Every structure is written in structure tokens, then in C-alpha cells.
Copies of this chain bind each other. A is one copy, B any other.
Amino acid sequence: MDRPLNLGLAGIGTVGASVARILTEKQEHFSKMTGRPIEIKAVSARDRNRDRGVDLSGVDWFDDPVRLAQEADIDLFVELIGGADGPALESVKAALGRGIPVVTANKALLAHHGVSLARLAQRKNVTILFEAAVAGGIPIIKTMREALRGNTVSRVYGILNGTCNYMLTRMEREGVAFEDVLREAQALGYAEADPTFDIGGFDAAHKLAILTSLAFGTEIDLASIFIEGISEISLDDIKAAAELGYRIKLLAVAQRTDSGIEQRVHPTMIPAGSALAQVDGVTNAVAVDTDLLGSILIAGPGAGGNATASAVLSDIIDAANGVYVSTFTVVPQSLTAYKRARMRAHEGGYYIRLRVADEVGAFASIARRMAENQISLESIVQRKASDDDGSVAPIILITHETTEAAVRKALEAVSRDGHLRGEPQTIRIETLA
């Protein structure tokens, strides 16, 4: 039997309590895996007296996680505090600075400081493990950092926010409008009181920033991500998508193009018959397109105490086994600067829904604007909108592959022509491998 792995646990919320409880309850299970006992040596949390369903009486308590990271007699520091800066950042830096490996579930920390932390870890010859930071229980970090290492990645994309996916699924299945589904999600605890971080696409963007770095060996650049949330998606869009053979998902996509790397989060139409389109409710999924492998898809729970704890525990056992992997796949000195591909250069098909005044020449003018911008149309559907009173003709256009710039220019011209009632709706169509 090897020497125990002494673990310092900072942050004992839902995930931290799950981790502590499972390590205690499954002690025998874990020693079968490693031959090395894992012991919680020190913890840090604000409230010592809260019942967390696990006995932490023999454990060293620290009020300050930074002091825990600096002083505790530990072999591994597990950061479950959260937040991009403050005690999370300071404690992780302190642990790495002492040459102690770190396990973290903190996507914001990595999206903002991942590269500098990776360099610090490299200097100290220790590893940062963060399976739980992206897509909860889905082993996408291990897959990208280890299983795909022979591959050159061309695109990584997925459903990375369970709140949005739950809401879109409910809208599609039950025909419930966005605002009502949001209230329902908030009541169920799937959405926060201020839901902006989720439904605005920012949570998915943080996760995408990390996946981009793993995929392309580039420095993290959260600020360059094009972000569009789901709040403008209407039941009309969802119904039209279904009729056209698509489903609407909030996708996060990072893709290598001729001009750089595209990073984008936006509502996306994907073929209804694809496996990704069946990923419903709070489930997450990530797909990776590569040169050798072709494409793989991993789907599973993206959140929840136990699912996230499962990812943290896998990292803890890797640390117990002395696994060393470079933080973002390649060694930090090989990380290249992120070269942004402008969103205007994005190429793809588009769904465009217009509410057009019912007057002579309106449609001819729209058709002309599309042609002027070299946009060719795959289909044109005239549908009755749910709030249609006869004065407007709702028109849906599906374009062949074109560019974001062409679509924006065409729609600006159409708007100037004065035939539209309300803003045009555009949803990008993603071609899956």
C-alpha cells in the first residue's frame, strides 16, 4: 500500500460536499483503483457548522483558502470556490507556487487566467486538472487532452449550457413561449434569478474559450468570442425549424478557417435527424472533428453535484497516480497566440425570418437585395405567424452557403427599403460532419 494522497479541499458547496462524501463512502472502491488511499487532510469553507452530510471532524479547517494552499500539509489542492479572481485565483497560485498540483472545476478562472496558470504549473513541473470545468460529467477535457493527441482538430462544437438546452427543448416539445419557460426554469432551479449569464450565452462562451485552447493549442481569448443568446428565439422559429427538418440548439463552435480561428456562441439550426439534435433537456454534448478520427460526439450530464463530483474525482485519482499532462494539451511554450477569424467572414447557411408588409413589390425588392449580395436561396417559405393579423406576410428564407457579411449587408438594405415590419431574425445553420 502506497503512502496516502493528502488532499486539501477549498470550497464545500454542492460539488465539494459530494466529493467529500463519495471519497468517504467509497473508500474501498478507490483503493481498488489506485492501491493508494485518498485522505481529506484540510478543508476551507465559510461555515464550519453547516451539515454537509459528511464527517469532517478530524480534518484541519482553514477560514482562508489561500492560507490552506500556502500552509496545509497536502499533496493536492482542490479548488471548488468559484469566481475568476479573488480567493480562487490566489489560492490556486499559492498551491502551484509550492509545487502542488491543482484540481479545479472553475471555468471562469481558466477562461481568464488559464494561460498564466499553465505557465506557472509548467515552471513548477506540476499539472492542473479541470475535467469538471467544461460540460460537468462529460470527459471532454480528458478526451481532448489525451485521447485525441495524435489528431489535428478542425472544429469543436457542442451544447454547453444545460439551462438553454432545457428551455429550447421545452419550447419545442410543449409549445411554451420563452418567457414562460424561463420562469419555469427559474422555479426548478435550472436558471438563476438573473439568468443573463446562461441565456445570454456567456456561460457557454467561458467553456468554449477553454475547449478552443485545447483544440488548437492557442492562448485563451474569451474576449474574441462572438456571442448571441437565445432570448430572441420565438416559437415561430422553432416551428419553422421543425418543418424544415432542423432543431434549434444554442451551439458553441470553435473552428479553424483560412483567416484564423472562429469562436462563436449562438442559436443554431442543426439537422433534426442528427444525434446531436436528440440531446435534450439539461444534457450537454460536445463533438470534435479531426483529421485522423473523423468525428466523435460525447453526450451526458453537464451539471449537478454528483456528475460534477464524478469529474473532480477522476482528476483526483489521476493526481494520485502522478499523471502529468500539459494544461492545454501542448506544453505552454508551444501555445501560439490566438488569431481571430472575424465573424463577418463566417461562411454557412442562414435561416432568415422576415415580417414583410403586405404590399406590391415587397418580395421582389427582398429578392433583389439577396441577389445583389450573391446570396442564393435554397428555399423560400411563406408562413402564417402566430400573431399574424393579415397586414404582414411572414417570409422564411433558407440560404445556400454564404457569408455573415453578405447576410448583414443584404438585411441592412432590405431594412432601408422600408418593407419590413419589425427586426429580421437570422439563425445560423451548422453543417455537421
Query: Would you call A314 and B147 a contact (CB within 8 A)?
Result: yes
With an 8 A cutoff between CB atoms, is A416 at the interface? Answer: no
Residue of B nearest to A321 (CB): B324
Verify if A299 is at the interface (C-beta below 8 Å from B). yes
Q: Which of A's residues lie within 8 Å of B, judged by CB?
A: 18, 22, 26, 29-30, 32-33, 35, 131, 137-139, 142-143, 146-152, 217, 273-279, 290-301, 304, 306-307, 309-311, 313-314, 317-318, 321-326, 329-331, 334
Question: B residues within 8 A CB of A323?
Answer: 321, 323
Contact indicator B297/A298 (Cβ below 8 Å):
yes
Contact between chains at B137 and A294 (CB < 8 Å):
yes
Min Cβ gap A284→B in Å is 10
Contacts of A301 in B (CB 8 A): 293-296
Report the minimum CB–CB distance from A413 to chain B (whole Å).
40
10 contacts between A and B (CB under 8 A): A32-B330, A32-B334, A139-B296, A147-B314, A150-B309, A150-B317, A275-B278, A293-B301, A293-B306, A297-B300
The A contact surface, by secondary structure, is: mixed
Docked pose: A388 CA to B294 CA in angstroms: 44
Inter-chain contact B147/A139, CB cutoff 8 Å: yes
Q: How far is the CA of A150 from the CA of B26 in the complex (A)?
A: 8
**Residue numbers in B under 8 Å from A292 (CB-CB):** 18, 22, 137, 306-307, 309-310, 313
A326 contacts B33, C-beta separation under 8 Å: yes
Give the docked Cα–Cα distance between A329 and B31 (Å): 11
**Which residues on the B side are within 8 Å of A131 (C-beta)?**
147
Provide the bound-state CA to CA distance between A301 and B329, in Å. Answer: 22
Given contacts A148-B314, A149-B317, A278-B274, contact A299 B300 (CB under 8 A): no
Chain B residue nearest to A136 in the complex (CB): B293
Of the residues B143, B150, B296, B330, contact of A299 by C-beta under 8 Å: B296
Contacts of A330 in B (CB 8 A): 32-33
Q: A139-B143, A152-B29 are in contact. Are A310 and B293 (CB under 8 A)?
A: yes
Contact call A296/B331, Cβ cutoff below 8 A: no
Contacts of A297 in B (CB 8 A): 297-300
Question: Distance (Å) between the CB of A328 and the closest chain B CB?
Answer: 11
Known: A148-B310, A275-B299. 9 other contacts (CB 8 A): A18-B292, A142-B142, A146-B314, A275-B278, A290-B310, A291-B306, A294-B307, A296-B301, A321-B325
- A300 neighbours in B (Cβ, 8 Å): 293-297
Shortest A5–chain B CB gap in Å is: 13
A197 CB to nearest chain B CB (Å)? 24
- List the B side residues contacting A22 at CB < 8 Å: 150, 292
A324 to B293, CA, bound (A): 25
Q: Complex: how many Å from CA A334 to CA B33?
A: 9
Complex CA gap A277/B275 in Å reads 8
> Which residue among A278, A317, A318 has the maximum number of chain B CB atoms within 10 Å of its CB?
A278
Interfacial chain B residues near A334, Cβ < 8 Å: 32
CB pair A137–B299 under 8 Å, yes or no, is no
Residues of B within 8 A of A139 (CB): 139, 142-143, 146-148, 296
Residues of B close to A304: CB separation below 8 A: 294
**Chain B residues within 8 Å of A146, by CB:** 139, 142, 314, 317-318
Nearest CB in chain B to that of A318: its residue: B146
Residues on the B chain within 8 Å of A274, using CB: 278
User: Chain B residues near A151 (CB, 8 Å)?
Assistant: 310
Expressed in whole angstroms, the Cα–Cα distance for A313 and B275 within the complex equals 27
Q: Which residue from chain B places its CB closest to the CB of A326 in the assembled complex?
A: B33
Q: Which residue of B lies closest to A314 (CB)?
A: B147
- Inter-chain contact A296/B33, CB cutoff 8 Å: no
Q: Are B217 and A32 in contact (CB under 8 A)?
A: yes
**With the chains together, A36 CA to B318 CA distance in Å?**
21
Contact A313 B35 (CB under 8 A): no
The answer to whether A293 and B147 touch across the interface, beta carbons within 8 angstroms, is no
